[in-house]
Structure 1
Amino acid sequence: MIYEAAFIGLGLIADMILTALFPFDFALNHSVFIPCMGFCALMLTVRQKNLLDSLFMAFAAGMVFDFLNADHFMLSSLVCMACAFLIHIWSKHISSSLLELMILLLSIIFVKELLIYFYMTASNLSAMSLMTWLSKRLVTTLVGNLAPILLVIWMNDQRQTLQIRRESIRRKGEKLRWEQLK
């Protein structure tokens, strides 16, 4: 759990750095890049858990995202839970190759952005058309997250390797009770 939290935390720190490098244009006069490394780290983490743990972890991480963004209460929590549910369903049908993980993460970013767009239009917070949203925000976000997604997938592999190594070291140190009785 510590490694998973550190992995998601590193993704969030990278998101903050990328957000500082590529500032957000609220008027959408220019294309907008939304970094999603923390979100992708969360999705790769919940992908390996059962459904209930995935939803709980997505809700908790979404609350942290809401706290850090401080815009709409529980929007990130609900979006993260919906995306975690989709990841749980989709992960049963794919393996862990680099291309499949990239497609999975890009498609879940697409779903996340569409859910945010539908929330914004349903609550009358945004009056822009779907095509404007797609051209000004979604395309730039998807293309801009290609390289960071590769980094997140590599970091996830390193995290899993480290967890497996620590688990094997812990198990080697365990002594079975029946071996001591011989």
Structure 2
Amino acid sequence: MKTFHFWGLMVVLLLSLLGCQQNSVLSDDLNSKKDLQGFVEPEPSDWVKYTKPVREYMYHRTQAVINNDINILWERYPELKENIDSEKGVNVEKNEVESLNHGFDLVDANYNIESYERIKVNAINDNKVTVLVHGSIVYLRDDFDESGGEYLMKVFLKQNDNQWTVEKTDEYTLPEYKEWLQEKNQ
């Protein structure tokens, strides 16, 4: 009887240890089929880890636009003022600050990082991750009309001292977006 209890306890311990391993297998959900360049929906525990820095980035981004001051974003994420490439959509937040503040004032903003679909992640290594974000930003203008809309972007995160921070952004240009839609619908 003691042997039976011992082996039963061993089986329970082994099964519980297996349950603690990080799941790196793709979900069978149709919406989370392997996306472009290896992006997959993260496990719930990882989802929390990656949405927080993306939301924080979006907060600083929208504050920079509302206040017409790109330095609000750049003070928090200094790497975003480097390697700006408007044609490729890399680190183009300054363009948004300038274009949305032309001819009217913005008074508020709402963003949702998953308004079109859940985030997807491509883990480069333990300290670098790329998050694919398909969401929306809507700015309220001083005439109470709205500007903004859908966006699709890659947010490149790096981990320093157990904190994730944004080191680069890559917004899909219109041709890239159309190509992404075609590949997604295949």
Structure having the larger proportion of residues in strand = 2
TM-score by length of 1: 0.26
TM-score by length of 2: 0.26
Structure having the larger proportion of residues in helix = 1
